[in-house]
Amino acid sequence: MALSAFLNVNGYDFPPPIRGFTYTISTTVNAGRNANNAVIGQRVGRDLIKLDALSWKGIHAETRRMMLRALEPFFVPVTFEDYRTGKPTTIIMYPGDRKGKPYWVDKITHMVLTDEVLSFNLIDAGLE
């Protein structure tokens, strides 16, 4: 199965982000270490994924609005390439802070036409 886009959020295909985002895989453990500094915990659930520092430059207002609408529900399905398998995966994620930096504003309506940067994180909710 092929991906419809680099990132699909809540059914919306997002344009590819600029270079520099990070893909983090976290393994949760239920305890720490004993007196000998040996791990005594066990893995809890599945590995969690965070798509950190996702950023887009020079996007038009329509694209920004589409992307932010896709993130309106707190939990959203996100489809992307699983780095471990090279295959598409869909997991439930939630967005971190969404930050925008306006670039071009219409002189008559004073509405932002183009954003210099739009950025946010997508964090695995751990839901199956």
Residue 119 has pLDDT above 80, yes or no: yes
In the chain, how many domains are there? 1
Per-residue pLDDT tens over the stretch 48-65: 999 999 999 999 999 999
Give the integer Cα–Cα distance in Å for 55 and 20.
8
What is the residue range of 26's domain? 7-57+74-98+119-124
**Within-domain flag for 65:** no
**Within-domain flag for 91:** yes
- Tell me the pTM: 0.86
SS3 content of the chain, % helix, strand, coil (to 5): 10, 50, 40
Q: Sorting pLDDT into bands at 50, 70 and 90, what band is 102?
A: confident
**Within-domain flag for 109:** no
Q: Sorting pLDDT into bands at 50, 70 and 90, what band is 92?
A: very high
**Within-domain flag for 31:** yes
User: Maximum CA pair distance of the chain?
Assistant: 70
**Within-domain flag for 33:** yes
**Within-domain flag for 104:** no
Give the integer Cα–Cα distance in Å for 44 and 105.
49
Q: Sorting pLDDT into bands at 50, 70 and 90, what band is 1?
A: low
What pairing do the DSSP bridges indicate for beta strands 112-124 and 48-60?
antiparallel
